[in-house]
Amino acid sequence: MKTKIFITGSSGFIGFHVSKRYLDKGFKVCGFDSMNNYYDVGLKKSRLKILKNYKNFSFIKGNLENQKILNKSIIRFKPSIIIHLAAQAGVRYSIKSPKVYLNSNIIGTYNLIEVAKKLKVKHLMIGSSSSVYGSNKKFPFQEIDKTDNQVSLYAATKKSTENLAHSYSSLWKLPITILRFFTVYGPWGRPDMAYFKFTKNIINGKKIDIYNKGKMYRDYTYVDDIVDGVFKLTNKAPKINNSKKYKNDSLSNVAPFRVLNIGNTKKILLLDFINTLEKKLKKKAIKKFMPMQKGDVFSTLSDTSLLKRITGYNPKTKYQDGIQKFLNWYLNYYG
C-alpha cells in the first residue's frame, strides 16, 4: 500500500513543492490549506491546479483553527506521516497583525499535534524558521544554540510551536522533527518576500526599498534543496537519545524529538543579491536605502552538519543558478 502523507499549507510555496515531490515519487498525498488572501490567491490556485493533476492527490480547504474540520480531514485520510507547513509567515506583517500569528501558528499547530497524537502517526515534521535564532551573534547557527532572543512576533510564535511540540513528544512519545528553514526562494515563490518584490519592481521600473542600506546577510536556500532535505527525512523519525554518543545533537533525552536546520550554509550580502538580479534582468534597480526594519535580523547562516549526518543532505544550488531558475519561472508565469 502507498504511504499516505498529510501536508498542511499544500497551496503555499514550500508546501506545494514538497507535495509535488511526494506525488512524483508515488506517495498518496492529502493537502490541506485555507487558501487565505495574505498574498495573491491566484498564485495559490495555480499551484493547487498542478497538484490536482495527480490522481494520488486529494485536497481539503480548511482552517487549522477549525479543529472539527482538521480532525475529520486527518482521521478520514489516516496518514502515517504528517508534514505541517501551513502557517502565517512573514516578519513584517506580524508587527501589524500579531493575533493572526497566534491563531494560525500556535492554536493551529496545537490542533494539528492533538490529532497527530490521537492517530499515533509515525512521523510529524513541523516547519519552523531560522528566525528563532533571533539576535544571536554566534555564526553559523547550530541547533544546540540557545534560542531565547526572538526579535519578531512571527519568530516568537515559531519558537513557541517548537516548545509545544517538544512537550507533546515527551508526554506521548510522538516522533517529531522540527525543520528550521533558512530564507527559501525559487519558482512559485512568495510575493511578499524581498527577492520577489525586487524582481517585480525592477522589471516595472519602480523603486525598491533596501533595508539597512543593503548591509544584511541571508542564507538563501533554493526550494529544491529544502525539498530534498524534507524528503530524505521521511523515514528518519527521531528516537529518544539515551546514549551519550552524540554530544552535540539536537535530540531530546526524554522525547523522540529533534530540531534540524535546512539551509544552504552560505551567507549572501543583500546588495550582492540585488546586483545579481540586476545583471540577470539587464536592468538597474531604482534603489531607496532605508534604515533597518523593526523585527529584522542582521544575518542568518546555517550549520547543516547534523542533517547531513542523518540523511547525506548536500544543498546543490548556487544562488546565481537559483535566481536564474526563479526568473525563468517569473517571466514565464507573469508574461
Q: Is 267 one of the binding residues for ligand NAD (CB under 6 A)?
A: no
Stretch that binds ligand NAD, among 145-153, 167-175, 177-185, 250-258 (CB under 6 A): 177-185
Choosing from 154, 195, 220, 330, the catalytic residue is 154
For ligand NAD, the binding residue among 64, 81, 194, 227 (CB under 6 A) is 64
Residues listed for the chain: 335
For ligand NAD, the binding residue among 94, 152, 183, 250 (CB under 6 A) is 183
Stretch that binds ligand NAD, among 61-69, 116-124, 140-148, 321-329 (CB under 6 A): 61-69
Interaction residues for ligand NAD, span 73-92 (CB under 6 A): 85-89
154 catalytic per annotation: yes
The distance of Cα 315 from the centroid of its chain, to the nearest Å, equals 15
How many residues touch ligand NAD under the rule CB under 6 A: the total is 27
For ligand NAD, the binding residue among 23, 27, 31, 63 (CB under 6 A) is 63
The residue number whose beta carbon is nearest to ligand NAD equals: 12
Site mask, ligand NAD, residues 95-124, x = CB under 6 A? ---------x---x----------------
Residue 56 region, left (φ>0) first, then alpha (ψ -120 to 50), else beta? alpha
Q: Is 256 one of the binding residues for ligand NAD (CB under 6 A)?
A: no
CA atoms within 13 A on the CB side of 83: 28
Q: Is 319 one of the binding residues for ligand NAD (CB under 6 A)?
A: no
For the purposes of burial, counting CB atoms within 10 Å of the CB of 245, is it exposed (0-12), middle (13-18) or buried (19 or more)? exposed
User: Least separation, in Å, of the C-beta of 41 and ligand NAD?
Assistant: 8
Q: Which residues contact 30 (CB under 8 A, 6 or more apart)?
A: 4, 5, 6, 7, 57, 58, 59, 60, 73, 77, 79
Q: Tell me the three cell numbers of residue 214.
A: 543593503
Q: Is 14 one of the binding residues for ligand NAD (CB under 6 A)?
A: yes
Compute the distance between CA of residue 89 and CA of residue 38 in angstroms, rounded to an integer.
9
Cis peptide before 140 (omega within 30 of 0): yes
Residue pair 287/146 in contact by the 8 Å Cβ criterion: no
User: Least separation, in Å, of the C-beta of 74 and ligand NAD?
Assistant: 13
Compute the distance between CA of residue 169 and CA of residue 163 in angstroms, rounded to an integer.
10
Phi, psi at 18, each rounded to 5°: -65, -45
Q: Is 34 one of the binding residues for ligand NAD (CB under 6 A)?
A: yes
Phi, psi at 320, each rounded to 5°: -60, -40
Stretch that binds ligand NAD, among 63-71, 141-149, 164-172, 316-324 (CB under 6 A): 63-71
The set of catalytic residues is 154
Residues near ligand NAD (CB under 6 A): 9, 11-15, 33-36, 44, 63-65, 85-89, 104, 108, 127, 129, 181, 183-184, 190
